[in-house]
């Protein structure tokens, strides 16, 4: 007969009705918590561990951008487009997006060069670890242009949450404007992006367009004075710099305030574990799993600590298997006490 572990409390109750020894409760608890197969297969019914670490607001616009390919869009448009590639300025929230046919490194490189020709070279670009962003060709382009390329942690979308939030907003607005078959969604993309960039952002409480260009956007519905004045203000440059500086400071303050509010809410009732070198752990399975597949793979050993939340782990038996993981995908292995 096979009996599975029903948890420390229930197991203690079951054994107490039949046996007794002084260290019964601690022994049973340790035995069950250190069960390798249970740890591999049991679901985790608590908030994923790890406190939120916010990205410090950049010093100004075009300092840090987030780039992403939006997942394949169905249906493919009449012009054959099925992806959206986008760049979002982290401070201003200004978005540049384009409908494309493929999600390749070549498409990404071409998009970056088009953007640079219009807006200049950014200081840093944050991407995920997709092959279209990790290719040698794209890294060489970044190197030549002097752009710092940062990667988000694999399977950890919070790192690049700016893009994730915008994508959900963009999808609903494109759907609202598209025809009944959704086959013209790429024609609606420019209108959605323009409307987004010319509306006040809830995080910064500033219009992305204004923070980007230093002036309020003129909308197609705005009434304009038919009399055009070409007066030159000798203090224009100084006033523009002061205005942009004021907008930047306000955006940074509002962004920090929102980040702190969100962090307080996110961290509530959430553990924030720390691991030491050589600790044994299991890693949450990243590939699609069937009903009875293990939930956590391993065992792995912590071999390097990158940040408070990020580690490099190596498989205990298959040493060629190493990966970068965050604490929310780590399950600690508890050592079993030896009987004396």
In a domain, 53, yes or no: no
157, 129, 167, 268: CA torsion to nearest 10: 10
Domain match, 82 and 217 both: yes
Contact 119, 213 (CB under 8 A): no
Residues 316 and 261 in one domain: no
In a domain, 241, yes or no: yes
On whether both 68 and 179 belong to a single domain, the answer is yes
Residues 287 and 262 in one domain: no
- Say which CATH number the domain at 330 has: 2.30.30.140
The total number of structural domains that make up the chain: 3
* DSSP structural state of residue 278: T
Is 315 within 8 Å of 322 (Cβ atoms)? yes
215 and 294 inside one domain? no
The H or E element containing residue 243 is helix 236-267
Q: Which of 193, 184, 224, 152 is CA-nearest to residue 80?
A: 184
pLDDT at 227: 80
Residues 9, 78: one domain?
Answer: no
- Are 208 and 332 within one domain? no
Residue 84 β-bridge partners: 70, 99
- Do 157 and 86 share a domain, yes or no? yes
Position 155 scores a pLDDT of 56
Backbone φ and ψ for 101, nearest 5 degrees, come out as -90, -30
Burial 144-156 (b: 16+ CB within 10 A, else e): eeebebeebbebb
Give the pLDDT score at 8: 86
Residues of the chain scoring pLDDT < 50: none
Domain contains 318? yes
Q: What is the largest CA-CA distance in the chain?
A: 97
User: Are 28 and 120 part of one and the same domain?
Assistant: no
Provide the domain limits for residue 22: 1-34
- 149: phi then psi, degrees, rounded to nearest 5: -105, 115
pLDDT for the residue numbered 154: 62
pLDDT digits (tens, 9 = 90+) for 310-335: 999 999 999 999 999 999 999 999 98
Does residue 103 form part of some domain?
yes
Phi-psi region of 170 (alpha: psi -120 to 50; beta: other; left: phi over 0): alpha
**Cα(212)–Cα(126) distance, integer angstroms:** 19
- Residue 229 has a pLDDT of 77
Q: Is residue 56 part of a domain?
A: no
- If asked whether residues 121 and 199 sit together in one domain, one would say yes
């Amino acid at each position: 007969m096979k009996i599975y572990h029903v948890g420390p409390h229930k197991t203690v109750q079951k054994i107490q009705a039949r046996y007794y020894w002084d260290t019964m409760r601690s022994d049973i608890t340790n035995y069950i918590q250190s069960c390798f197969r249970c740890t591999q297969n049991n679901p985790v019914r608590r908030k994923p561990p790890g406190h939120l670490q916010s990205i410090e607001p950049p010093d100004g616009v075009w300092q840090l951008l987030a780039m992403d390919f939006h997942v394949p869009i169905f249906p493919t448009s009449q012009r054959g487009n099925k992806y959206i590639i986008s760049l979002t300025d982290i401070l201003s929230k200004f978005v540049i997006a384009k409908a494309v046919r493929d999600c390749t490194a070549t498409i990404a490189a071409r998009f970056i060069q088009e953007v640079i020709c219009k807006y200049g070279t950014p200081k840093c670009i944050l991407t995920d670890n997709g092959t279209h962003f990790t290719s040698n060709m794209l890294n060489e382009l970044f190197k030549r242009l002097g752009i710092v390329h940062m990667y988000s942690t694999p399977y950890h979308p919070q790192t690049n949450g700016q893009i994730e939030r915008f994508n959900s907003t963009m999808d609903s607005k494109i759907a609202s404007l598209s025809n009944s078959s959704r086959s013209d969604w790429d024609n609606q993309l420019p209108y959605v992006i323009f409307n987004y960039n010319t509306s006040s952002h809830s995080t910064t409480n500033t219009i992305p367009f204004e923070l980007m260009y230093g002036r309020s956007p003129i909308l197609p519905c705005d009434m304009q004075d038919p009399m055009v004045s070409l007066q030159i203000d000798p203090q224009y440059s100084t006033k523009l710099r002061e205005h942009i500086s004021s907008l930047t400071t306000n955006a940074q303050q509002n962004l920090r305030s929102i980040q702190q509010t969100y962090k307080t809410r996110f961290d509530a009732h959430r553990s924030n574990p720390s691991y030491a070198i050589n600790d044994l752990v299991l890693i949450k399975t990243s590939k699609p799993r069937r009903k009875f597949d293990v939930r956590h793979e391993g065992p792995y050993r912590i071999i390097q600590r990158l940040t408070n939340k990020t580690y490099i782990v190596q498989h205990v038996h298959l040493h060629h298997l190493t990966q970068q993981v965050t604490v929310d995908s780590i399950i600690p292995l508890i050592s079993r006490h030896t009987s004396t």
